[in-house]
Structures are given as structure tokens and as C-alpha cells.
């Protein structure tokens, strides 16, 4: 079964894709949201065109990584597409701004994320999905650090068990069929 992960910029989507043994598709929303990026002309079919592409990729991938734009998340919810939302704790703005600089993100993107950080985190905190489908990253934590742990929590929940936050190493996860 394919999984959809909607990850905030800087959580490590591209790193995860490049280092995964699974068939992972990293879906860049900018390919679907702009008719002309330089002139800032939005695509009139966004986000429907992006959601359609995500649906297609879910049929041919083990995992799809997508954006956390509020309009995209609402479209996924309206379409009945289950997803896991991954984003940082609010107080990590400076850590993430550093991540964007280290990866040479566009200065316009860095400026936007600096100005609207609290608003974006508010939107994600308020996203109307089950809390077990939200992963809020702590300091120096990345997508690859938490996906296996989240999978263990979901399995425990399905079995009616309660677990404390745990860390599962790869051999243990494989031995328990979590990978």
C-alpha cells in the first residue's frame, strides 16, 4: 500500500527519497502551481492538477512526498486521500531558516518562510486530520528519523495498544516487519 507524506520545506523529503530502498516519488508542487514562475503567474488548475498527479503517483510508488500548502491539504481531505503531515515545532524557525540557507534555497522562499512561519505552522496545527496522522519534528529531527517510529505507533494503535515514544533501529524494525 502506498503512503502519502506531506512534508514542510526542510524536513528532509529529498534526502529521504535519495536514501530510501523503496520506490519514492518527491512531488514538487512548483511544477504544478506556476504557469510562469519568473512572472509569478499561477496555474489556473492548481491545486487540482497537483492532486491528480499525486493520485497517479500513489498507484505506481511505495511512497509519495508532497507539499504542505493549505490549499493542497484541503484538496486532499476533500478528495478523501489519507496522508501523514510532517512539520517542525513552532520554535524551530531559526533552525529551519539555517537548513534553507545550507541547501541554497531561493532567497524569496527563505524570506516568505521567515515572514509567514507562524501562519504556516498555525495552518498545519489546525489541519483537520487525525492527530495520529501528524508528526511534529523536534530539534535536529528529520523525516527519515521518524517514519519508522510513526509506522510502529500506527501498528500499535491498530492492535489497540498504547506505547510511549520509542526509537526503533532498522534491524529491529525489519525483524518485526515494520520495514
pLDDT digits (tens, 9 = 90+) for 77-93: 999 999 999 999 999 99
pLDDT digits (tens, 9 = 90+) for 22-45: 899 998 887 777 666 566 666 678
Task: Kindly state whether residue 178 falls inside one of the protein's structural domains.
Answer: no
Task: Kindly state whether residue 152 falls inside one of the protein's structural domains.
Answer: no
Task: Kindly state whether residue 67 falls inside one of the protein's structural domains.
Answer: yes
Read off the CATH number of the domain in which 23 is found. 3.40.50.300
Strands of the sheet with 24-26, listed across from one edge: 24-26, 63-66, 3-7, 84-88, 134-137
pLDDT level of residue 166 (50, 70, 90 thresholds): very low
Residue 154 has pLDDT above 60, yes or no: no
pLDDT digits (tens, 9 = 90+) for 90-139: 999 999 999 999 999 889 899 999 999 999 999 999 999 998 899 999 99
Task: Kindly state whether residue 72 falls inside one of the protein's structural domains.
Answer: yes
Task: Kindly state whether residue 156 falls inside one of the protein's structural domains.
Answer: no
Task: Kindly state whether residue 132 falls inside one of the protein's structural domains.
Answer: yes
For the stretch 125-129, contacts whose Cβ atoms lie closer than 8 Å and that sit 24 or more positions apart, written own/partner, are 127/70, 127/73, 127/85, 128/77, 129/73, 129/77, 129/83, 129/85
The confidence score (pLDDT) of residue 179 equals 47
Average pLDDT over the chain, rounded to whole?
A: 84
Task: Kindly state whether residue 123 falls inside one of the protein's structural domains.
Answer: yes
For residues 144 and 12, the answer to whether their CB atoms sit within 8 Å is yes
pTM of the model: 0.80
The confidence score (pLDDT) of residue 159 equals 56
How many CB atoms lie under 10 A from the CB of residue 45? 13
Tell me the CA distances in angstroms from 131 to 12, 86, 97, 115, 176, one per residue in order.
21, 11, 26, 27, 24
Amino acid at each position: 500500500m502506498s503512503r502519502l507524506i506531506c512534508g514542510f520545506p526542510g524536513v528532509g523529503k529529498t534526502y529521504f527519497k535519495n536514501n530510501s530502498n523503496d520506490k519514492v516519488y518527491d512531488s514538487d508542487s512548483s511544477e504544478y502551481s506556476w504557469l510562469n514562475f519568473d512572472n509569478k503567474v499561477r496555474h489556473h488548475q492548481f491545486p487540482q492538477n497537483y492532486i491528480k498527479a499525486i493520485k497517479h503517483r500513489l498507484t505506481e510508488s511505495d511512497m509519495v512526498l508532497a507539499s504542505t500548502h493549505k490549499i493542497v491539504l484541503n484538496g486532499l481531505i476533500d478528495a478523501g486521500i489519507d496522508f501523514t503531515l510532517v512539520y517542525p515545532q513552532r520554535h524551530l524557525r531559526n533552525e529551519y531558516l539555517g537548513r534553507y540557507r545550507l541547501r541554497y534555497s531561493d532567497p524569496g522562499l527563505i524570506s516568505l518562510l521567515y515572514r509567514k512561519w507562524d501562519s504556516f505552522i498555525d495552518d498545519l496545527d489546525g489541519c483537520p486530520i487525525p492527530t495520529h496522522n501528524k508528526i511534529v519534528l523536534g530539534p535536529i529531527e528529520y523525516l527519515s528519523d521518524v517514519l519508522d517510529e510513526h509506522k510502529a505507533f500506527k501498528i500499535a494503535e491498530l492492535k489497540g495498544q498504547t506505547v510511549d515514544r520509542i526509537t526503533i533501529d532498522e534491524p529491529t524494525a525489519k525483524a518485526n516487519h515494520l520495514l
